[in-house]
């Protein structure tokens, strides 16, 4: 067979195997894995490189309304550009339902935001903020059938949070349709109470963001979310877990037989609440929820990645400019942390950080790296085996990694819309020197090299976690 492209002399890494093989690509798909493929229009020399499935980041916020006068720093163009430079070939972003809005109407708006602007493939999770009988009973089943197979619910944030009975109704509807539910677990009432108490003491600087969202507020909400999921027998993903106690809740619920996926993020490995203590308003750069914790929590999150409590390592990229009245330091945010938009940029740094700190420092092996950054995302969110692996018939979504490349991270090189990175000056070993999406090289040596914005919208099948739910087999697959 003659191929469009052949990647030669590389080491292929999947979630389960590591082997020397050439990779033949034809019409955007992987067409051969064999010893010596030579017939091709283009030969890519991957000597000394790892040939991995492109990163799939299943937790990315782009172009979301985030409060009056606040503008998210990335739209679908800049966000997917930055993602590609950081080794990703697919991102799953959020389609946020406004109160009173139908999910269809929300989807129409988000498709318009993304259409023709994406450099890599994208798909949307539905954020349910108004779970009416119409939304849960009519819309959701039709949308799941159309390939919108995951939703997110919030237990915190005014205007987004659902009450427990609303969460139960949403979980119940998800069980009937096979949708996978992601849950943001923090106790809103506790947080609001603590904000009031600190406010009364005049404690309104960014550092008090962390103090008002303590570990117990996350642990309690995690326990409650898992209990609600158990009550209606529905699988859930506990997203952005920041500490050991929340992690232990996941472990225990699994031991009881519940189907659960767990996610953690780079900020919980690399940052602590001390970063929020930075001089004056600098701390605003690190305001995200749950907040970064302490060294012990970092160790716990590493353990969770190593031992399999966490299936997913995602960025929770949610970028706002720092020195900008439409960003972190907006008029009200300068005066009180509660008005600082929550979230930090990280779609480009997720993979290099885990590769460098995890693989190169011997904490995890290459296969685990691929599992938690790509394969598990594809399986849990209904993209597997088209995405998330190097196999014949899969999309040729490939990242070539140079394990010897040493890079010092700077904001400029990340090509996102934010004016800072929390990881400025961090030295990493290993870099994705080429990223392909369906056989087209999108990023190379840190530059975007295909300006056609050829990313596609991905309709998804049911999650590996929900597909077999309700058949009595409640063990983890």
Binding residues for ligand URP, rule: CB under 6 A, are 61, 184, 240, 288-289, 316, 318, 342-343
In terms of CB distance, is 221 or 399 closer to ligand URP? 221
In terms of CB distance, is 30 or 288 closer to ligand URP? 288
Residue 312 Cβ vs Zn ion, minimum distance, rounded to whole Å: 12
Distance CA(319)–CA(44), nearest Å, equals: 34
Which of ligand URP, Zn ion, none does residue 342 bind (CB under 5 to 8 Å by kind)?
ligand URP
Per CB under 5 A, 161 contacts Zn ion: no
Residue 209 Cβ vs Zn ion, minimum distance, rounded to whole Å: 15
Per-residue tokens: 425: 């000056």
427 CA to centre of own chain: 22
Residue 44, CA distances (Å) to 33, 109, 252, 320, 455 in order: 14, 39, 47, 37, 22
Residue 182 Cβ vs Zn ion, minimum distance, rounded to whole Å: 8
Secondary structure of residue 45 in the 3-state scheme: strand
In terms of CB distance, is 5 or 219 closer to Zn ion? 219
Q: Which residues, at least 6 apart from 252, have a Cβ–Cβ distance to it below 8 Å?
A: none
Question: In three state form, how does the secondary structure of 350-384 look?
Answer: HHHHHHHHHHCCCCCCHHHHHHHHHHHHHHHCCCC
Q: Which residues, at least 6 apart from 198, have a Cβ–Cβ distance to it below 8 Å?
A: 204, 208, 211, 212
In terms of CB distance, is 265 or 371 closer to Zn ion? 265
DSSP track, 53-94: EPEEEEEE--S---STT---S--HHHHHHHHHHTTEEEEEEE
Q: Looking at residues 219 to 248 of the shown chain, list those that interact with Zn ion (rule: CB under 5 A).
A: 223
Per CB under 5 A, 207 contacts Zn ion: no
In terms of CB distance, is 46 or 60 closer to ligand URP? 60
Residue 155, CA distances (Å) to 92, 160, 220 in order: 21, 8, 11
Which of ligand URP, Zn ion, none does residue 223 bind (CB under 5 to 8 Å by kind)?
Zn ion
Residue 61 Cβ vs Zn ion, minimum distance, rounded to whole Å: 6
> Nearest residue by C-beta to Zn ion?
184
Per CB under 5 A, 74 contacts Zn ion: no
Consecutive H or E run containing 244: helix 244-255
In terms of CB distance, is 221 or 394 closer to Zn ion? 221
Secondary structure of residue 38 in the 3-state scheme: coil
Residue 395 Cβ vs ligand URP, minimum distance, rounded to whole Å: 27
Per CB under 5 A, 316 contacts Zn ion: yes
Which of Zn ion, ligand URP, none does residue 288 bind (CB under 5 to 8 Å by kind)?
ligand URP
Residue 239 Cβ vs Zn ion, minimum distance, rounded to whole Å: 6
Residue 289 Cβ vs ligand URP, minimum distance, rounded to whole Å: 4
Binding residues vs Zn ion (CB under 5 A): 184, 223, 316
């Amino acid at each position: 067979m003659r191929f469009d492209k052949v990647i030669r002399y590389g080491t292929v890494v999947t979630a389960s195997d590591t082997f020397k093989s050439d990779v033949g690509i034809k019409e955007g798909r992987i067409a051969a894995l064999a010893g010596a493929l030579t017939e091709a229009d283009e030969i890519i020399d991957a000597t000394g490189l790892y040939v991995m499935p492109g990163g799939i980041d299943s937790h990315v916020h782009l172009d979301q309304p985030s409060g009056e006068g606040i503008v998210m720093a990335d739209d679908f163009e800049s966000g997917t550009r930055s993602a590609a430079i950081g080794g990703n070939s697919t991102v799953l972003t959020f389609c946020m339902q406004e109160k009173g809005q139908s999910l269809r109407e929300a989807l129409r708006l988000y498709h318009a935001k993304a259409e023709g602007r994406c450099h890599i493939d994208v798909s949307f999770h539905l954020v349910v903020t108004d779970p009416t009988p119409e939304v849960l009973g009519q819309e959701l089943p039709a949308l799941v059938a159309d390939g919108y197979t995951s939703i997110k619910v919030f237990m915190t944030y005014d205007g987004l949070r659902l009450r427990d009975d609303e969460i139960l109704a949403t979980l119940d509807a998800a069980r009937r349709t096979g949708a996978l539910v992601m849950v943001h677990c923090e106790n809103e009432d506790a947080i609001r109470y603590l904000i009031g108490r600190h406010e009364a003491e005049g404690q309104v600087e960014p550092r008090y963001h962390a103090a008002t969202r303590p570990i117990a507020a996350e642990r309690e909400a995690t326990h409650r979310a898992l209990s609600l999921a158990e009550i209606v027998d529905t699988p859930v993903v506990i997203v952005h877990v920041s500490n050991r106690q929340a992690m232990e809740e996941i472990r225990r619920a699994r031991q009881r037989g519940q189907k659960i996926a767990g996610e953690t993020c780079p900020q919980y490995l690399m940052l602590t609440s001390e970063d929020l203590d930075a001089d004056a308003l600098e701390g605003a750069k690190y305001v995200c929820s749950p907040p970064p914790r302490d060294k012990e929590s970092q160790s716990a999150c590493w353990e969770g990645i190593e031992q399999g409590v966490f299936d997913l390592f995602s960025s929770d990229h949610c970028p706002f400019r720092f020195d900008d009245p439409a960003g972190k330091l907006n008029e009200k945010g300068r005066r009180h942390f509660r008005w600082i938009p929550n979230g930090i940029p990280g779609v480009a740094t997720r993979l290099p950080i885990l590769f460098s700190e995890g693989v190169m420092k011997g904490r995890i092996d290459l296969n685990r790296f691929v599992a938690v950054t790509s394969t598990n995302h594809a399986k849990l969110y209904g993209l597997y085996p088209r995405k998330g692996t190097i196999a014949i018939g899969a999309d040729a979504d490939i990242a070539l990694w140079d394990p010897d490349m040493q890079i010092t991270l700077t904001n400029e090189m990340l090509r996102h819309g934010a004016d800072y990175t929390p990881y400025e000056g961090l030295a990493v070993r290993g870099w994705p020197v080429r990223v392909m999406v369906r056989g087209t090289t999108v990023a190379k040596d840190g530059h975007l090299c295909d300006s056609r914005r050829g990313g596609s919208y991905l309709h998804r099948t049911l999650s590996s976690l929900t597909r077999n739910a309700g058949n009595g087999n409640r063990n983890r697959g």
